[in-house]
Structure 1
Amino acid sequence: MKVGIAQVNGVIGDFPGNVKRLLHAYRECLEQGADIVVTPELSLVGYPPRDLVFKSQFVPKCLQALDYLAGEVKEIPLLVGYVDHNDSGKPGKPFRNAAAFLHKGEIRAKIWKTLLPTYDVFDERRYFEPGESCEPILWNGLCLGVTICEDIWTEEFLHRPLYDRDPVRELCGKGVDFLLNLSASPFHLGKPELRREMMAEVAKEAGVPVIYANAVGANDQLVFDGHSLVASADGRIAVQMPGFSESCVTVDLDSLPAGEADLPQPVAAGQLYDALVLGLRDYVTKCGFRSVCLGLSGGIDSALTAVLAADALGAENVHGLTMPSPFSSGGSVDDSVALAETLGIRCDIVPIKDTFTSVKEAMAPLFAGTKEDVTEENMQARIRGLYLMSLSNKFGHLLLTTGNKSELAVGYCTIYGDMCGGLAVISDLPKMRVYELSRWINREREIIPWNTIDKPPSAELRPDQKDQDTLPPYEVLDGILELYVERHLSAEEIVEHGYEESIVRWIQRRVDLNEWKRQQAAPGLRVTSKAFGMGRRMPIVQRF
């Protein structure tokens, strides 16, 4: 029995395009000798479709595409994920997260997803009704156990009991020969390794091979890393597909490799880099843009963003703008120009001194009798935002913001200034990860100027300004933020980890006070287990 795994990159709602991708992958698997082909969760639709499913023609168009796809499938069956109506006649949600078994021009069977996640970035119970039973598909003398993503996740790996059903156990009780899982499991650091461990355990416990087909590509804030795999019945990862790229692999279940697949040791920085490049490329191209622009400050955040953009889109499609103020150091301009030359991207220098002076003079009558403060600092950031948005409008670039997670968490960023833009590329990277990733980029040769990496970080909005005039050391800030934002610990619990109470409470207060800024921020690419954005829903007005 040879199973083809089609690890495809779909676009949400692009039914003609998704059909074309699926047929191309299906035929590639046929050329490899596949007896059956499996695709990721909602591969015909793109994941997650969110409220698009409520549009009157969305599901009908999906079903129309499914019928066309079925007509193209001949002797070799295809398992494809899609959205269906809930036609059970019982009260419940209007739709189903479904998989269709296509064979000889027809839809031979339909499978409903049983376990619907409603936590973190998932909100499936808003749309879908769960399957009432788990029934295998009988085909060619085999009993196929088909599950969809969450259906195969076990309580141990979810870290808490969420469901009173166990689809894998139900299917195994009906004598399945192997398990097929259609998945759209988004990436965060450490997730591929967690999946491998879980799939191996599920296969060993079930006593049958597990074929796991995961989506690849990015949609909005979520990056899907692929890493589809096959786990043998004795709990080995026999086959591991590549990450962060489309791929088709056909696996002979009757002659799986005797040992573990050759699995490269994961490098956190390498995974982050691949995820961010893929997320940036897909966001830009799927939104219909061809090029990007960004501000180059001479700092590490904008340098890292520029490197990612040049890799994702090609240097010719990246336009940098260096905008020195009276407080900018010569080194910052030189570092920006040096980076641009190394990457081969365009970099223009447009000083903001005259504009800054004009704005201060215009506001002087209103500000009479006051001292300069953060108001004048923010003027500079907002002037730069104006320049960058003008560049974006004139040439059709998507503007990339360059702020990191540490700054966004505590509000060390200027709304309508450096927060202007269409995509916040590194907004889920804490500052210490920014340094780690930048050094990894320079592991073989200098790409980001070492001076950019080594100098003390500064917004350069007043004389001799340093970030740590305002913020705690970044290693302290990031440690506390991980405990507060990602692990949801209280101030008292964080203090027990050895942090100074006054610093903990200052950071906690700043995080809470700046929710309003984050809700106006550009969408960011999720690469940690808890990102600001769709996976963290906090009220702006609250007193807890």
Structure 2
Amino acid sequence: MKIGIIQPYVTPGDFPRNVRAIIEAYRACLDDGADLVAAPAMSLSGPEPEGLLHRSAYAREHEDALRYMALEMGKVPLIMGSVEGLDGAGHPSRRFYVLTQDSVSKLDEFPGVIDVNNIGVCLVNGRESLEEISSRVHAELILYFPEAPWSMEQTVNMVEAARRTATGFHLPVGVIRHAGGRGETVDAGSSFLIDGDGRVCGVLAPFLPDERVVNTIKPGKHSFPGAGTALNLAIKAGIRDFISKGGYAGAVLMHADTPEFRLLESLVTEAQGESPCIWESAPDLENPLNRAETANLLLLSPCHKNALFHGARPEAHYLPFGDLFGSDLKGGRPGHFRRGSEDDILHSLVDLHRSGTDLITEGYSEIDVRSCQRAVERSAWSRRQSPPLLHLYGMPVPCPLLHRFSD
């Protein structure tokens, strides 16, 4: 059985663009011999279209897009999800659809097992866990449609849950995800399929649009991106998406002679394919924010959060890159910059909780070690005098990319 997996890059409410992206990927899967094609849970509507559902024309445009897609379908069925409008209680009405040549079958949000082209398929909505479906699995394939934004912990847990489900039922499990940005969050991509023995048969590109036909009985050598690589990709995808969907002409960076700035400049250049505009840093952040809005540019700052809290408007769009660098990115590009002895000492004292005596024994200068210890103690005393602030360290949040602060 060959399963075509579509991982489109879609925009909420932009039906012409979304239809084109899905159909092009669908045809590519047909050319590779797919028996069945699956797209994510909100392919046609785009993820989180809640703000658009109150438009009077939304439901009609959604229905017209479905009819047009049916005319473009071949004999191989396409399974996808979408938000078709508001229900009687004013909540988003989510559905799955099976599209074949000139035909659209609307399914309930929790359709259970369905017969698609003589293949029993169990559809699992993203708000269920894979372990919760045991009572209704009498199928040949399980397709899981997660909706949560990316986080490394969630990705690791999902792969392990898919393996447990696949080996428990001896069935292939496909995880179908969106790719790219979603406002202030990022969708992971990296859709994948695991065979009934728990072996990975195929993995799609992380954070990028992709499509692939995966044979459920031919496992290959596939790997998922590591934590550092995934975080780099997530930030680039988020910057690129926020610039394009926010209508910005580009990004502007505030200059700083720090490793954070050099790494941020590199990431933004890779994200948009050209070097970003760079402004000299100023003690008052109000002026750069006003200038960025006037020039229709997205302001990205290598500062830490403490610097951004003074004089900056909370609703302004910026990324406090220094916090990500200090917690999650410092190991992502080891060849991008070199750490001095003082950086190594601070890293050992603060992050590794080592004693100054151990560092002196290893050969570090006692003057440098004691100086760093005093600096850490002064910093800790200052923090205790300050009011509590929003902390991004450790990244226990759904996504590593946040463009604005909230209470």
Q: Same fold (TM over 0.5)?
A: yes
Q: Does 1:12 align with 2:23?
A: no
SS in 1 for 2:310: coil
- Mean Cα deviation higher: 141-150 or 501-510: 501-510
Is 1:513 aligned with 2:388? yes
Matched, 1:32 2:32: yes
Q: 2:114 aligns with which of 137, 142, 145?
A: 137
In structure 2, the residue matched to 1:283 is 242
CA drift at 1:107: 1.4
Deviation at 1:219, TM superposition (A): 1.4
Alpha-carbon distance, 1:186 to partner: 2.2
CA distance in 1, matches of 2:377, 2:234: 35
1:249 partnered with 2:249: no
Cα distance in structure 1, aligned partners of 2:41 and 2:315? 34
Which of 401, 411, 421 is the aligned partner of 2:301? 401
Distance 1:388 1:94 in 2: 36
CA distance in 2 between counterparts of 1:308 and 1:534 reads 13
Give the CA deviation at 1:60.
Answer: 3.9
- The one-letter amino acid paired with 1:213 is I
Q: C-alpha displacement at 1:299, in angstroms?
A: 1.8
Q: Which residue of 2 aligns with 1:437?
A: 332
Aligned in 2, Cα 1:506/1:204: closer, same or farther, shift over 3 Å?
Answer: farther
| Structure 2 residues without counterparts, runs of 5 or longer | 354-375
Q: Which segment drifts farther, 285-294 or 215-224?
A: 285-294
2:116 and 2:221 map into 1 onto residues whose CA distance is: 32
Separation (CA, whole Å) in 2 of partners of 1:35 and 1:474: 53
Name the CA shift for 1:24/1:427 in 2 (closer, same or farther; >3 Å): farther
CA pair 27-381 structure 1, distance change in 2 beyond 3 A: same
Q: Rg larger in 1 or in 2? A: 1
**2:173 counterpart of 1:196:** no
- Whether the 8 Å CA contact 2:298–2:317 is kept in 1: the answer is yes
Structure 1 equivalent of residue 200 of structure 2: 237
Structure 1 213/386 Cα, relative in aligned 2: closer, same or farther at 3 Å? same
Q: In the TM superposition, what is the alpha-carbon distance from 1:71 to its structure 2 partner? A: 2.7
Report how many residues are paired. Answer: 382
* Aligned 8 A contact 1:209 1:230 in 2: yes
Shift of 1:414: 3.6
Give 1:198 deviation, angstroms. 1.2
Residue number in structure 1 paired with 2:222 = 263
1:108 partner amino acid: S
Deviations for 1:456-496, whole angstroms, at most 9, x for unmatched residues?
79xxxxxxxxxxxxxxx67777799xxxxxxxxxxxxxxxx
Deviation string, structure 1 residues 383-441 (Cα, Å, up to 9, x no partner): x5414632x355432222333xxx43xx453433598952316376151434323535x
Q: Conserved in 2, the CA contact under 8 Å of 1:428 and 1:531?
A: no
- CA distance in 2: counterparts of 1:169 and 1:279, whole angstroms: 36
Distance 1:56 1:415, change over 3 A: farther
Contact 1:86 1:95 in 2 (8 A): yes
Q: Which residue of 1 aligns with 2:128?
A: 151
* 1:351 corresponding residue in structure 2: none
What secondary structure does 1:298 align onto? coil
Question: C-alpha distance in 1, partners of 2:103/2:406?
Answer: 48
Identity of aligned residues (%): 21
Alignment of 1:455-474 (within 5 A): none
CA shift at 1:506, angstroms?
Answer: 7.6
- AA partner of residue 437 (structure 1): G
Cα 1:402–1:53 shift into 2, 3 Å: farther
Deviation at residue 3 of structure 1 after TM alignment: 1.3
Distance 1:385 1:297 in 2: 17
1:321 corresponds to which residue?
Answer: 279
Matched, 1:171 2:171: no
For residues 59 and 533 of structure 1, what CA distance do their matches in structure 2 show?
Answer: 33
- Structure 1 residue runs of 4+, over 4 Å off? 417-421, 473-480, 500-510, 531-535
Distance 1:508 1:49 in 2: 42
Change (3 A) 1:110 1:241: same
Deviation, 1:513, is: 3.3
Structure 1 counterpart of 2:395: 528
Q: Tell me if the contact between 1:39 and 1:213 (Cα under 8 Å) persists in the aligned partners.
A: yes
Instruction: State the SS of the aligned residue for 2:186.
Output: strand
Mapped contact 1:189–1:529 kept (Cα < 8 A): no
Q: Is the 8 A contact 1:400 1:423 kept in 2?
A: yes
Residue by residue, what CA displacement relative to the aligned partner does 1:239-266 show, whole Å, maximum 9, x if unpaired?
Answer: 222212221111233x323xxx423474
What SS class does the counterpart of residue 214 from structure 1 fall into?
coil
- Structure 1 distance, partners of 2:315, 2:83, is 36
Corresponding letter in the other structure for 2:280: T
State how far apart, in whole Å, the 2-side matches of 1:93 and 1:479 are.
51
User: 1:307 and 2:266 equivalent?
Assistant: yes
| Cα deviation 1:312-349 (Å, max 9, x = unaligned) | 11234x111224xxxxxxxxxxxxxxxxxxxxxxxxxx
| Shift in alpha-carbon separation, 1:417–1:4, aligned structure 2, 3 A | same
Distance 1:300 1:388, change over 3 A: farther
Counterpart of 1:52 in structure 2 is 52
Deviation sequence 1:292-319 (CA, Å, 0-9, x none):
1111111222222211111111234x11
Q: Aligned partners of 1:48 and 1:425: how far apart in 2?
A: 25
Give the structure 1 partner of residue 290 of structure 2.
Answer: 389
Residues 477, 93 of structure 1: CA spacing in aligned structure 2 closer, same or farther, 3 A cutoff?
Answer: farther
Which residue, out of 100, 103, 106, partners 1:103?
100
In structure 2, what is the Cα distance between the partners aligned to 1:428 and 1:503? 16
SS in 2 for 1:436: coil
Q: Residue 238 of structure 1: CA displacement? A: 2.2
- Residue 83 (structure 1) aligns with: 83
Please report how far the alpha carbon of residue 72 of structure 1 lies from its aligned counterpart in structure 2 after TM superposition: 2.0
Residue deviations 1:174-204, cap 9 Å, x none?
x211112233342223433322111111111
Cα distance change of structure 1 residues 430 and 32 upon mapping to structure 2, 3 Å threshold: same
Summarize the Cα distance change of 1:309–1:42 in structure 2 as closer, same or farther, 3 Å threshold: same
RMSD between aligned residues: 3.7
Name the SS of the counterpart of 2:53 in structure 1: helix
Please give the residue correspondences for 1:326-365 in structure 2 after superposition, counting only pairs within 5 Å: none
SS class of match (1:201): helix
Q: What is the rounded CA distance, in whole Å, between the counterparts of 1:227 and 1:153 in structure 2? A: 18
